[in-house]
Chains A and B, each alone.
Chain A
Amino acid sequence: AQKITQTQPGMFVQEKEAVTLDCTYDTSDPSYGLFWYKQPSSGEMIFLIYQGSYDQQNATEGRYSLNFQKARKSANLVISASQLGDSAMYFCAMREGYNYGQNFVFGPGTRLSVLP
């Protein structure tokens, strides 16, 4: 079964608008971490934001915020005030606590295109 689901293969957003990238996850472990990565066309993987399963507040990092809904098992990434440089692939990932945190699983990704 897919542990990380990203249902939007591609998204478009107008420059300066906000956009939400969806991510749902599946785990029975009460202890887990959720991560978002950005992959621009140059290919490198850039860490954006982290949310722990026990964190009470939604994570924020600059223009990035994570809308964490634990009961629904969703961890959507919100990018505010989109910029042209935000055009990239975005991956949601999960690290489960069992087995010493060795399992780090990625979703299929969402390609975001920011329009001028």
Chain B
Amino acid sequence: EAQVTQNPRYLITVTGKKLTVTCSQNMNHEYMSWYRQDPGLGLRQIYYSMNVEVTDKGDVPEGYKVSRKEKRNFPLILESPSPNQTSLYFCASSRRTGQITGELFFGEGSRLTVL
């Protein structure tokens, strides 16, 4: 089954404790991206990757890191989480880079709470 898998789905952590949210897709997609969803703001892009070893900042990259060492994986790293990073996070992938077609396929979301 074609899918984007995120883990963990739910996490409660404390300020400053490093955490990683994993994301893996099995569709051989070139493009991968991370979003955070907050009420009234829709989805805002954190980072994206056009292909292996190619990553770039989205609209709200502060406090986050990513890496793309393999095509299928795109982990999101919070080095020192803060309460304002409490949010619902989505990983997404798309089959084409360089074209306007190609919808995003989303993971199920990871709800993160930082105390």
Contact = CB atoms under 8 A, between A and B. Distances in A.
Contacts of A108: 40-42
A101 B41 contact: no
B96 A101 contact: yes
8 contacts: A35-B104, A47-B105, A50-B101, A96-B100, A101-B31, A102-B56, A106-B44, A108-B42
Interface size class of chain A, counting residues whose CB lies under 8 Å from the partner chain: 20 to 34
B45 interface: yes
Interface of B: 31, 33, 35, 40-45, 48, 50, 56, 88, 90, 92, 94, 96-106, 108-109
B3 to A, nearest CB: 11
Given A107-B42, A108-B42, A43 B108 contact: yes
B43 A91 contact: yes
B106 A45 contact: yes
Contact of A47 (B100, B104, B108): B104
B53 to A, nearest CB: 15
Contacts of B94: 104
Contacts of B48: 102, 104
Instruction: Give the interface SS of chain B, mostly helix, strand, loop or mixed.
Output: strand
Given A44-B109, A108-B42, A100 B104 contact: no
A53 interface: yes
Given A43-B109, A44-B108, A100-B97, A105 B45 contact: yes
Given A35-B103, A93-B104, 18 more contacts: A35-B104, A44-B106, A45-B90, A45-B92, A45-B104, A45-B106, A53-B100, A97-B99, A100-B50, A100-B98, A101-B99, A101-B100, A104-B33, A104-B104, A105-B45, A106-B35, A106-B44, A108-B42
Contacts of B41: 108
Contacts of B45: 103-105
A36 B97 CA distance: 19
A91 B42 contact: yes
Contacts of A43: 88, 108-109
Contacts of A44: 106, 108-109
Contacts of A107: 42
